[in-house]
Amino acid sequence: MAGVYAFTFIQSADRNFDLVVDKFRAKRTMLMNSQLDPLTALPNRKFMKTRLAELCKSVTPFAVLFLDLDDFKIVNDTMGHGAGDDLLLQVTARLKTMMRETDLLARVGGDEFAVLQVPAKSKREVVALAERINQQIAAPYRIFGEKAVIGVSVGVRLALGGVNEPDEVLHRADTALYNVKAGGKGGYSVALD
């Protein structure tokens, strides 16, 4: 009788353990999904803004680069949404090759990305990254056997840690991006204080 009881107890404990593990996995998956873009698996806007708020409180100098793909809509509209998704994945792969371990690359909208360059030691270093991004993203893509060419506009805000408000940093980077777009796309602009 004691053996049956022990066996039943062990089975019950195993089921309870499995339930706890499943619940933990479900919570972890929900948390990851709330912080990651489902297509690219990059951090999303919410995650990026949380990290930006942390940086604004630190003493580490950093830069925010807002990236908006030029002519993405043309590819998406003429070749289809599957082609648009493939293009976004290829863009993501190219951007990842330019990131340092300390940088954060996020997808913050349909064809919009953001980079938190941490640390950003100088304006020259940040501009060099913006130029590399412009050059790499402008190289032709192969999508479903066809050639596609797009560009990227980059708005940059260089910030000293500990003296910035996250909304102000984002606004300045966004304004710099708008200036590039108004000037004809395919370049970068650095927000001035």
Any idea which residues carry the catalytic annotation?
111
Residue by residue, DSSP assigns 16-74 as HHHHHHHHHHHHHHHHHHHHB-TTT--B-HHHHHHHHHHHHHSS--EEEEEEEEETHHH
SS3 for 187?
A: coil
DSSP helix/strand/coil, 157: strand
Only one residue has tokens 């509209």, namely: 77
Q: Residue 38 — left, alpha, or beta (φ > 0 → left; ψ -120 to 50 → alpha)?
A: alpha
